[in-house]
Amino acid sequence: MAAKTQRRSHALNLLLIVVLVVWMILAAFPFIWTLWGSFKVEGDFFSKADWANALAGPLTLKETGGSFTGAGYHGAWIKEAFGLAAMNTVIVCLFVVTISLTFGTLGGYALSRSTYRYAYWFLIIALIFRAMPPITLVSGYLPVFFNWNLWGHLPTAIVVLVAINQPFTLWMLHSFFKNIPKDLDESAMVDGCNRFQAFRHVIVPVMWPGVITTGLFSFLLAYNDFAVTTMILSKENQTMVPKISSFLGTTQTKGNVMFAVAAVVSATAPLFVMVLFFQRQIVSGLTAGAVKG
Amino acid sequence: MLLRKMTLAVSLALSANVVFANCGDIAGKVSIVGNEFPAIHTVAKGAAACATDKLTVTSNLTADHQKINLAGLQGDPAEYTTAIIANSSIIALMNDDVIRPLDDLIAAHGADIPKSNLITIDGKVMAVAFMANAQHLAYRKDVLAEIGVEPPKTYEELLAAAEMIREKGIMENPVGGAYKSGWNLAQEFVNMYIGHGGEFYKPGTAEVAINNPQGVATLEMMKALTEYMNPDYLTHDSNATGAEMEAGNTALMNMWGSRIGALMDDEGAEEAVYSNIVVGGPMTVGGGTTPATTLWWDGWTVAKNASDEDAVATFVAMKNGTSPGILNDETMGEAVWMIEGYTPAPVNDGVFASIKAGSKPYPMLPFQGLLHTALGDNLSDFLQGKESAEQALADTEAAYTTAAKEKGFLN
Amino acid sequence: MKHKTFFWFVLPSSLAMLLFIFFPILSVLIQSVHVDTEQVIKEVKNCGPFGCETITSIDQEATQALERENPLGRFAGLTTYLDRRHLAVDEVHAAWGSTTGVGDFFNQLVNLPFYKAMSFTLAYTFIVTPLVIIFGFIIAVAVNGAVKWVRGPLIFFSLLPMLVTPLVGALTLFWMVDARGIVGNALQYLASDPNLSVKASTPLTWVMLMVYGVWHSAPFAFIVYYAGLQSVNKDTLESAMIDGASRWEQIRYVIIPHLLPLTTFIALMQLMDNFRVFEPIVSFSAEAHATSLSWAIYNDLGGETRQLSSAAATSVLTILGISILLLPVLVRTWRDFTHK
């Protein structure tokens, strides 16, 4: 890397910096704007009078007496018990990621080692399964879940999210395992291990980077899911995203939009820590598991 | 037991919302599904006041209630023993026959429910209404005073006032309208079409009949109104029109009674704006006498697939949740309650005016939902000038007919 | 790998997919070839707080008797697929017969819901997918070239468009592009047209949705490419440099071939996700200007009366559409597979 950097011309460096700066503005600006606005009142944040009000906040000053207000945060966390939803999200994410990866590594490994045609068809069918729009799936679940008293519980949502996410997980892990040399586990089997022992003792220790990357995508899916969680979780088991949407109001009544804005900002903060923590793994993970189409 | 009762009484007295509970000796499970807004929270809280060792009361109030209530009532036993619905959404429950007639329950436990609150269909009580809502005029009195015009009683007067406001340069787009493509736009069509005296179907059948002079007049009036609206009107729901009003960009609009409180309070607007927002009555159109608006009620039902014990418990708890006992200073302003002891605040004048002016309720027909969806999908092309009014109405009729065939209403 | 071992390894995920995806797809298929039984209608008196009137209502007894005979509803074959809301064969035929030219035929076609949805869906898919790949690649190269210590924050901020829940992310953006919002104002200034409104114009709405789509998905392509860049073989790169390859030649002959398998993967996922475009349409209230197949399903299921058969047929058409779209990729995978 260092050698390469030295070779770069000034013009190229400049171009690089310009690209990065432009992209950073595009990527981060809406969020930073939201962060700033989350300390204002709704009349300012969604100012229909003059966009500059969102910066200066004249209504915030008038309504609360200060330039900034924590009312949105207070409302979301204290009045609306957003912490409970956050807790539910943590539970859902934890289990979805763990179960998805357990199922996915087993399946993905087998798919990468099988030379029979049905393995190909298995992958293709999984892909076609992924094409199904989630809303149709969820509306199909409802009568069954209600009938069997499964509706509303966290485990139900976890299992559904795991299942819906399986095709993606399988594809990604399958490609990853394909890049781990076959000799590794086959020589272990020559030494007298059975397939599962070979998997456990030889493959598991080297698979983590790929698994963590796949886990990141599973995590994001569970974290940001709206279609499934809003339909099959009861009020007390709600995760963050449906909770946020419940702040937005309905046709006939006004909502607490600023609660939603504050909640979104607070929901993003832990992700920052997480990305910083995992960034090396994310990268090395995908590196090792160059995903093949 | 006595101690328990006493602590209960004390804790009730201490809580901000004192709820009067007189539920008698009932046992079972009460489980409520409904929309989420403060008035419904109050009702659920009132029902929960009946909870004892023998009676559990749970509620799931969410904006997505319509997506889950049917499935939630279909199971046996039903997940929910009661669904809180409005006159449009009760249809889906009645079409699938998941709610039970309440006549025997009323005879046994509900003699004191006002007759007018009972929703009777074919001689059977299917729901008990507890609050009313309607769309009506909301306007800026200072702006109308500036142009020297009385609050409009008809849409024609509203157009004239809008023209004057624009001419005087007070506001560029003085009219607000929830014309968002989809449910909102269809709702405005329904209002205006009823105002023109139109009938949606051939009498006694499910055959749609809106491609007629009233239908065209309705669309022409809607188009005329859009000339005075923010050009983005096809994306504006009532959240957006409310924000426009609070920002001081619009002076006249047809607004839900339930949202007026948020417009008139001191949040979200300059004082010069919020202190000048007032409600008017509903408006008529095209020389008609029926106001171009619809009346709405919210009410509760009891699930067919609840056990008889649960049905009794649900009935009694919900009756308590909609009894005069739930009304206090805080809950009074949450809705236009159809409950004894309710004293209307000025924000509710519009809804009362709408009822008094002889407005029609939103049609409670098994296939109205299909027409509403078809209207919402097909009218925006006309408003954007992409096709003629007749074409838009023909498209709507075709879309409705296809849907009605699939649902078995037409062959 | 032995059949039996394979079976046990894939069992958990197969079971999950079988129960929660395969069976629902089956029931959707069955639903799509059935329509509801005939609903017997009668006139009844309806009284409520606002007075009495005569209305039509479903005669439950008569209807339920019919339903008991046909619990699944009436078998309709492909009727639902061919009706006006889906392939609309009759209407297309009529339009073809009465058309005055290609433009007129196209106009009549996009007046039909399915073709209106398809026109936007296809435009969106084929414009957004390549742009996501290109931008993702450029950003990945740029971040990869940055000094090491800023890369962590750069990655986080680059991922932000994907991280922030679209519910509120779109709400903020929707306000920004409003004629009075900050972006809307900037556009008016740039176009020197004070009446310019993105939300009121169909072409501009399409552009807005596509820009949002690229913005939202570019991070996905970015992170995959960025990771891929870490594994570029340094020896190959250095020998290319020694051979006097220019920077562009290094990218062209070393990096791009190395990233090709990743590109296939991104294309596969993006084609699929973009074909199912839904969230931006709802978040930006763009229904008047742009619809998609997924939106049509949502619309069928979201009304006061749910139209299950119609939604089922649209779902099946979505799967078929995606299968056709992915055919080239599938063929490629097949070749990979038979080669090993």
- Tens digits of residue pLDDT in A128-141: 898 888 888 888 88
pLDDT tens digits along B313-341? 999 999 999 999 899 888 888 889 999 88
- Please check whether residue B338 touches C, CB under 8 A: yes
Distances (CA, A) of A247 to A171, A243, A261, B171, C216: 37, 7, 9, 31, 23
Q: Are strands B28-34 and B82-86 parallel, antiparallel or unpaired?
A: parallel
- Please report residues of A whose CB lies closer than 8 A to that of C17: 126, 129, 163, 166-167
Task: Among A114-123, B62-71, C146-155, name the one with the lowest average pLDDT.
Answer: C146-155
Instruction: Calculate ∠ Cα B299-B301-B303, nearest 5°.
Output: 160
Residue A117 structure tokens: 């045609």
- CATH code of the domain covering residue B52: 3.40.190.10
Which residue on chain A is closest to B185 by alpha carbon?
A251
pLDDT of B178 reads 93
A-contacting residues in C 188-207 (Cβ below 8 Å): none
Quote the mean pLDDT of chain C.
87
Give strand pairing partners of B34.
B61
Contact B92 C305 (CB under 8 A): yes
pLDDT of B5 reads 44
Task: Among A5-9, A236-240, C49-53, C326-330, name the one with the lowest average pLDDT.
Answer: A5-9
pLDDT of B218 reads 96
Are C277 and C124 in contact, with CB atoms under 8 Å apart? yes
* Higher per-residue pLDDT: A60 or B305: B305
CA distance B407 to chain C (A): 5
- Please report residues of C whose CB lies closer than 8 A to that of A169: 13
- Please check whether residue B60 touches A, CB under 8 A: yes
pLDDT of B16 reads 38
Question: What are the residue boundaries of the structural domains of chain C, listed by start?
Answer: 113-339
- CATH code of the domain covering residue A238: 1.10.3720.10
Q: Which chains touch B (3 or more CB pairs under 8 A)?
A: A, C
Assess if residue B154 is contained within a domain: yes
- Please check whether residue B207 touches C, CB under 8 A: no
- Please check whether residue B101 touches A, CB under 8 A: no
Task: Compare CB distances from C164 to A31, A45, A167 and report the shortest one's residue.
Answer: A31
pLDDT tens digits along B116-174? 899 999 899 999 999 999 999 999 999 999 999 999 999 999 999 999 999 999 999 99
Task: Compare CB distances from A250 to B63, B68, B78 and report the shortest one's residue.
Answer: B63
Contact B64 A230 (CB under 8 A): yes
Which residue on chain B is closest to C300 by alpha carbon?
B373
The parent domain of residue A234 ranges over 81-288
Same domain? B151 vs B273: yes
Q: A281 falls in which pLDDT band (50, 70, 90)?
A: low
pLDDT exceeds cutoff 60 at B6:
no
Contact A250 B35 (CB under 8 A): yes
Which residue on chain B is closest to C171 by alpha carbon?
B240
Assess if residue B313 is contained within a domain: yes
* 3-state SS, residue B81: coil
Domains: count for chain A: 2
Q: B7 falls in which pLDDT band (50, 70, 90)?
A: very low
Q: A293 falls in which pLDDT band (50, 70, 90)?
A: very low
Same domain? A111 vs A240: yes
Same domain? A36 vs A99: no
CA separation for the pair C28, C297 (Å, rounded):
12
- The residue behind tokens 């556009």 is C187
CA separation for the pair A37, A68 (Å, rounded):
9
Mutate to test the interface with A, among B136, B236, B259 (most CBs of A within 10 A): B259
Assess if residue A262 is contained within a domain: yes
Task: Compare CB distances from C13 to A170, A172, A293 and report the shortest one's residue.
Answer: A170
- Please report residues of C whose CB lies closer than 8 A to that of A113: 1
Residue B335 structure tokens: 């809705």
Kindly state the helix (H) or strand (E) to which residue C196 belongs, with its residue range: none
Contact B129 C202 (CB under 8 A): no
pLDDT exceeds cutoff 70 at B222:
yes
pLDDT of B13 reads 40
Longest pairwise C-alpha distance within chain C: 91
Same domain? A124 vs A53: no
Of A75, A109, A124, the residue that ends a domain is A75
Task: Compare CB distances from A246 to B36, B258, B267 and report the shortest one's residue.
Answer: B36
pLDDT of B271 reads 87
Quote the mean pLDDT of chain B.
90
Are B190 and B365 in contact, with CB atoms under 8 Å apart? no
Give the mean pLDDT of A187-196. 86
Contact B129 C111 (CB under 8 A): no
Q: Are strands B252-256 and B294-300 parallel, antiparallel or unpaired?
A: unpaired
Assess if residue A236 is contained within a domain: yes
pLDDT exceeds cutoff 80 at A169:
yes
Same domain? A9 vs A86: no
Q: A4 falls in which pLDDT band (50, 70, 90)?
A: very low
Same domain? B64 vs B108: yes
Quote the mean pLDDT of chain A.
84
pLDDT of C339 reads 67
CATH number of C113-339: 1.10.3720.10
Distances (CA, A) of C172 to C153, C176, C212: 23, 6, 12
Same domain? A222 vs A282: yes
The parent domain of residue B308 ranges over 15-132+297-349
pLDDT of A275 reads 77
pLDDT exceeds cutoff 70 at B9:
no
pLDDT exceeds cutoff 90 at A191:
no
- Please check whether residue A37 touches C, CB under 8 A: yes
Residue B401 structure tokens: 């007919």
Same domain? B253 vs B336: no
Same domain? A159 vs A275: yes
CA distance C165 to chain A (A): 6
Q: C10 falls in which pLDDT band (50, 70, 90)?
A: very high
pLDDT of A147 reads 82
- Name the pTM for this structure: 0.90
ipTM of this predicted complex?
0.89
Same domain? B184 vs B194: yes
A-contacting residues in C 286-315 (Cβ below 8 Å): 293-294, 297-298, 301, 306, 308, 311-312, 315
Domains: count for chain B: 2
Give the mean pLDDT of A107-116. 89
Q: C252 falls in which pLDDT band (50, 70, 90)?
A: confident
- The residue behind tokens 């005087």 is B168
pLDDT exceeds cutoff 90 at B398:
yes
- Please check whether residue C28 touches A, CB under 8 A: yes
Same domain? B314 vs B284: no
